[in-house]
Structure 1
Amino acid sequence: MSILVTGATGTIGSLIVQRLADAGADVRALVRKQGKASLPAGVAEVVGDMTDVPSMRAALSSVRTLFLLNAVTPDEVTQALIALNLAREAGVERVVYLSVIHADKYTNVPHFTGKHTVERMIESLDIPATILRPAYFMQNERMVQQVIQEHGVYPMPIGSAGIAMVDARDIADIAVAELLRRDRADTALPRVTLDLVGPDALTGASVAKIWGAALGREVAYGGDDLAAFEGQMATFGPGWLAYDMRLMMGGIQKFGMHGAEGSIDRLQTILGRPLRTYADFVSEATASA
């Protein structure tokens, strides 16, 4: 019996596949096109699409444990619910689902509410699962690193409520720990929910200061203008996604992103080491630029 990883070629999924392979697990990686992905030795490529029911039925055959990650798309909820229903049909009782922090609070943000819908299915049907709720990924900052370095401005309108950005590598390590814990258990384990956060509550001003220290010159915070942010995002992708991101940033400005009490200690116990800091991430990013 194997572990099926969806989203296997993305930022998080590729890290998980590699770490599971390193741990000697029997891993299947779900991909859309045969032969396009570079997978670690010993990892089986499974071609499928989460809206293609026959291909998902085939992908889930002989699977013991499922890592469910699906991209932010207009049909994200459909994809996730189909995958979970088919997993139940196949007798899969070990699931790790990548949701998002505060999915129940950012109720006007499409992809947050979509993930909350999936969480509700897991909870209402009592599916044995770990629900991972990550905050904003540090690695997303790679998209704006050139702007920061060339113009001396941090452009993400994250405001001042505080956002505990988390390193994607920490997300992957915790996901792998949970996948292996469930996969190796004698029976299905009770449902668990984990807020995945970094150790620091960051603001626009504090992030700009961290980048400035790493670059050795002043970096300013670009401010909280959500309309300008949406307009900029729309030049790089579809309008629906730019608006979704605008709504998310509005939620960050209003609520922030903070883990439940005790989250940091709980995560560091799982990892067996400290969580990576944003300052460390920026140091690495600038050193490799």
Structure 2
Amino acid sequence: MSILVIGSTGTVGSLVVQGLAKQGAQVKAMVRRTGTLSLPAGVDGVVADLGDVNSLRLAMSGVRTLFLLNALAPDEVTQSLQALSVAREAGIQRIVYLSVIHADLYTDVPHFTGKHTVERMIESLDLPATILRPAYFMQNDAAIQSVIEGYGVFPMPIGAKGCAMVDVRDIADIAVAELLRRDRSAEPLPRLTLEVAGNEVFTGEAAAAVWAQALNREIRYGGDDVQAFEAQLTAQHVPAWMAYDLRLMMSRIQQLGQIPAAGATRTLEKILGRPLRTYQAFVAERVKAA
């Protein structure tokens, strides 16, 4: 029996595949077409699509444990609910689902509310699953490094409430630990929800200050204009529906922040057996590599 990773080509999913392979797990990585992913030795690629139920049934044949990560898509809810339903039909009783922090609070943000709907399915059907709820990815800021260095501006409009940013490598390591814990258990384990966030909360101003220190120059925060943020995404050929979704997300981050409950990070560090990575270390790593 194997572990199936859905979302294996993405930033988090590819790291999950690598982490499982290093631990000697039997892994199947789901891809949409052959040749799209260089897989670690011993990992089997399986071609399937979240919109194709028959291909999902074939992909889940012989699978004991499932990692479900669904990227932003207009039909994300349908895809995820179908994937979990097919998993139930296949008798899969060991699941790790990647959701998002405060999925229940960002009610006007489509991909947050979609993930909360999936969480509700897991809860109402009492599926034996770990729900991972990550906060803002540190790696989001890799995409804006050229703007930061070229214009002296931190352009992400995350506001003043603050985000407990988390490194995607920590997210993947926690996912691997939970997948192996469930996979190696003789019986299905109780449902668990984990907020996956960093130890330090960053505002827009604070994030800019970290880059300023690493670059040894002035970096200012670009401000809270989410309309300009949406327009910039559209100019970069991001689909209009996605640009608007991300604009709504930024508005909620400004209003509510992304801060985990007390004790959440201690739980994560216990799972990892080490401290969580810091934003300062991430930025220093990016600057050194540039």
Give the RMSD, CA atoms, in angstroms. 0.5
Structure 2 counterpart of 1:126: 126
- Taking the TM superposition and a 5 Å limit, the aligned residue runs for 1:51-70 are 51-70=51-70
Q: Does 1:264 align with 2:265?
A: yes
Structure 2 counterpart of 1:280: 281
Structure 2 counterpart of 1:235: 235
Structure 2: gaps of 5 or more residues: none
| 1:85-111 CA-partner distances (Å, limit 9, x unpaired) | 000000000000000000000000000
Measured in 1, the distance between the counterparts of 2:117 and 2:79 equals 12
Structure 2 counterpart of 1:190: 190
% identical aligned pairs: 64
Q: Report the secondary structure of 1:275's partner residue.
A: coil
With structure 2 as the length reference, what TM-score do the two structures score? 0.99
Structure 2 counterpart of 1:156: 156
What's the offset of the Cα at 1:261?
Answer: 1.4
- Taking the TM superposition and a 5 Å limit, the aligned residue runs for 1:150-229 are 150-229=150-229
Q: Report the secondary structure of 1:217's partner residue.
A: coil
Q: Report the secondary structure of 2:46's partner residue.
A: strand
Letter in 1 for 2:246: M
What's the offset of the Cα at 1:37?
Answer: 1.1
Q: Report the secondary structure of 2:67's partner residue.
A: strand
| 1:208-262 CA-partner distances (Å, limit 9, x unpaired) | 0000000010000000011111100111211111110110000000000011110
Measured in 1, the distance between the counterparts of 2:201 and 2:46 equals 39
Structure 2 counterpart of 1:142: 142
Measured in 2, the distance between the counterparts of 1:279 and 1:102 equals 24
Measured in 1, the distance between the counterparts of 2:235 and 2:261 equals 36
With structure 1 as the length reference, what TM-score do the two structures score? 0.99
Measured in 1, the distance between the counterparts of 2:156 and 2:37 equals 31
Letter in 1 for 2:153: V
What's the offset of the Cα at 1:163?
Answer: 0.4
Measured in 2, the distance between the counterparts of 1:186 and 1:118 equals 26
Q: Report the secondary structure of 2:130's partner residue.
A: strand
Measured in 2, the distance between the counterparts of 1:154 and 1:118 equals 33
Measured in 1, the distance between the counterparts of 2:214 and 2:17 equals 32
Structure 2 counterpart of 1:19: 19
What's the offset of the Cα at 1:126?
Answer: 0.2
What's the offset of the Cα at 1:34?
Answer: 1.1
Measured in 2, the distance between the counterparts of 1:68 and 1:256 equals 25
Measured in 2, the distance between the counterparts of 1:132 and 1:260 equals 14
Q: Report the secondary structure of 1:39's partner residue.
A: coil
Q: Report the secondary structure of 2:132's partner residue.
A: strand
Measured in 1, the distance between the counterparts of 2:174 and 2:98 equals 11
Measured in 2, the distance between the counterparts of 1:264 and 1:84 equals 28
| 1:65-86 CA-partner distances (Å, limit 9, x unpaired) | 0000011010100110010000
What's the offset of the Cα at 1:35?
Answer: 2.2
